[in-house]
Structure 1
Amino acid sequence: MTTTNDTGDATASRSVLLIGASRGLGLALAQEWVRRGRHVVATVRDPSSTALPQVADGQPGSIEIETVDVTVPEQIDGLRGRLAGRTFDVLFVSAGVTNKPEGIVGQTSTEEFVRVMVTNALSPLRVIEALQDLVAPTGTIGVMSSGQGSVANNERGGHEVYRGSKAALNTFMRSYAARHAGEDRTLVLMAPGWVKTELGGEGARLEVDESIPHVVTTMEDLGGRPGLHYVDYLGRTVPW
C-alpha cells in the first residue's frame, strides 16, 4: 500500500532516505535503489564534489539531493525540519571515513582519533535519533558498518582506529535496539565487504557492482524482520 507524502507523490512507502551519497558505496546505493524503482532522498556534504547531481539529472524525479554534514548537529536538525511530514520506508546511514591502515591507536593524534570516531560512531546515532520518526513503523533503519567492526573476528589487527570506530558503532546500535525492543522496525548493521572505493582502496577484493546490489537485496530480504541484524552483503550473520 502506498502513501502520499507532503509533495503529493504516492511513493512514500517506496522511499529511501540515504545519508552520505557523495561517492563510493553511498553513490552506488543511490543508483541501485533508483534502478529498483525507489524514490531516493540522498544527502551530500558538498554538492560541488560529487557525481550525484549528474545521476539525478539522468533519473528525473527519482532522486532529491539534500546537503548535510553529519558531524554538525545543527545541520542534522535542519534536515529534519526540511523533511518534516515525510515518511520513508528505509533510512540508511552510509557516511563514514577511514584513516591510515597502519596507524597504531596509541600513536594516533587526538584530532585524528576524534575525527574518525565522531564521523563513524557518534554521528550515525545522532542522525538516527533525529530522523527515526520519519521512518514508517514497520520500516528499516540501516547503518553501514564493516566486518572490521567485529571484535570476535579481529585476529590480525591493523586498521585500529577504523576498527574501533565501527566496533563502537555496533555497540551503540545494540544499545539503540535495546531501548527500542518490541518495536516493529528492522535494524541493520551492514558489512558490505572489502570494496574497491576511495575508502576501500585499489587492493580490495570486490568491485562496487559485486557488493552493492547484494547489499540492497539483503536489506530488502530483512524487511519485516524486527530487531537488530549484523550481516554482510550476502546476508550472512557477522560475529560480534
Structure 2
Amino acid sequence: MTRRVLIVGASRGLGLGLTARFLARDWDVTATVRQPSAPLADLATGGRLRIEAGIDIDDDAAVADLRARIAEVPDFDIVFVVAGVATQAGTPAALLPREVVGAVFQTNAVSPIRFAEAFHRRVAPGGLIVLMTSKLGSVSLNRGGGWSSYRASKAALNTLARSFVGQHKGADWGVVLMHPGWVRTDLGGHRATLDVETSARGMVGVLESRLGQRGCVYLDYTGETVPW
C-alpha cells in the first residue's frame, strides 16, 4: 500500500533531508517550498516527489491555495510542518524589537497550528500531524535561559498543539511534537552534534512506528520522550 507524506518547508536542511529519507523508504512525497530549490528538484527523478512552490505558512491565502492545488492527491499518512525561524535568537526577548518577537511567534507557533487546522481533514485514518519543535521548548529543561524568544515560541507551539488535540477529541489521527536533535543546519550551526541524514533517518523511523496511535506526544529523533 502506498504511503504518503506532506512535508511543509523542504527546500533545505531538515526538510530536504526528510524528503530524501521518506523517498528512500518508498513513500510518495508532496513537498512545499517558498522559492524553487535546486537540491529538492534533484530528488524528483523517480516520479514519487511532487513539489509545490510559493507556499509560506505565514500566508493564509497561500495555504488555502495549496489545499486547492492538491485536492486530488489522496489523503496523507503524515503531514509534517518543518518550517521555522530563529531570528536574532541570541538576543534576550526583552531586548528585541516587538515586531521581531511577534514574527518569531507567528512562524514558529501560530502558523504551524493554523496549517494543522487547515489540513487535518487531509490526514488519513491512523495518520499523524507532526510539528517540528525543539527540546528548547521544554519549560522544565530551561536552565540556561539562552535563545529566549525561540524557546518561548516552541513552548507556545507545544501548548497550542496540546490544545489543538483537545479541540479535536475523537479524531482518527495523532500529533507528534518532534525534536530533531542538535543538527548541523543553518539554524543549528556548524558545532551541532548531528548530521541531517542521521536526524532524518531517526525521525522517519520514529514516525513510521507511531502510525495508528492517537493523542499528543513530545519526542526526539530517537523516540525518547522530551519533558514538557
Q: TM-score, normalised by structure 2?
A: 0.96
Q: Which residue of 2 aligns with 1:90?
A: 78
Distance in 2 (CA, whole Å) between partners of 1:134 and 1:102 is: 37
Quick check: 1:105 aligned with 2:108?
A: no
Distance in 1 (CA, whole Å) between partners of 2:32 and 2:171 is: 27
Distance in 2 (CA, whole Å) between partners of 1:180 and 1:115 is: 27
Q: Which residue of 2 aligns with 1:61?
A: 47
1:70 to 44, 54, 57: 57
Quick check: 1:80 aligned with 2:43?
A: no
Alignment-mate amino acid for residue 70 of structure 1: I
Identity of aligned residues (%): 45
Quick check: 1:36 aligned with 2:22?
A: no
- Secondary structure in 1 aligned to 2:160? helix
- Once the two structures are superposed, the pairs formed by residues 191-206 of structure 1 within 5 Å of their partners are 191-206=179-194
- Secondary structure in 1 aligned to 2:43? helix
Q: Which residue of 1 aligns with 2:196?
A: 208
Coordinate RMSD, CA, aligned: 1.1
Aligned length: 226
Task: State the shift of 1:60 in Å.
Answer: 2.5
For structure 1, the 5+ residue unaligned runs are 3-10
Task: State the shift of 1:100 in Å.
Answer: 2.8
- Secondary structure in 1 aligned to 2:42? helix
Alignment-mate amino acid for residue 48 of structure 2: S
Task: State the shift of 1:101 in Å.
Answer: 3.5
Task: State the shift of 1:50 in Å.
Answer: 4.7
1:174 to 159, 162, 170: 162
- Secondary structure in 2 aligned to 1:163? helix
Alignment-mate amino acid for residue 132 of structure 2: M
Quick check: 1:165 aligned with 2:153?
A: yes
Quick check: 1:185 aligned with 2:170?
A: no
Q: Which residue of 2 aligns with 1:217?
A: 205
Distance in 1 (CA, whole Å) between partners of 2:50 and 2:198 is: 26
Distance in 1 (CA, whole Å) between partners of 2:61 and 2:218 is: 29
For structure 2, the 5+ residue unaligned runs are none
Distance in 1 (CA, whole Å) between partners of 2:20 and 2:198 is: 14
Task: State the shift of 1:53 in Å.
Answer: 1.0
Task: State the shift of 1:214 in Å.
Answer: 0.4
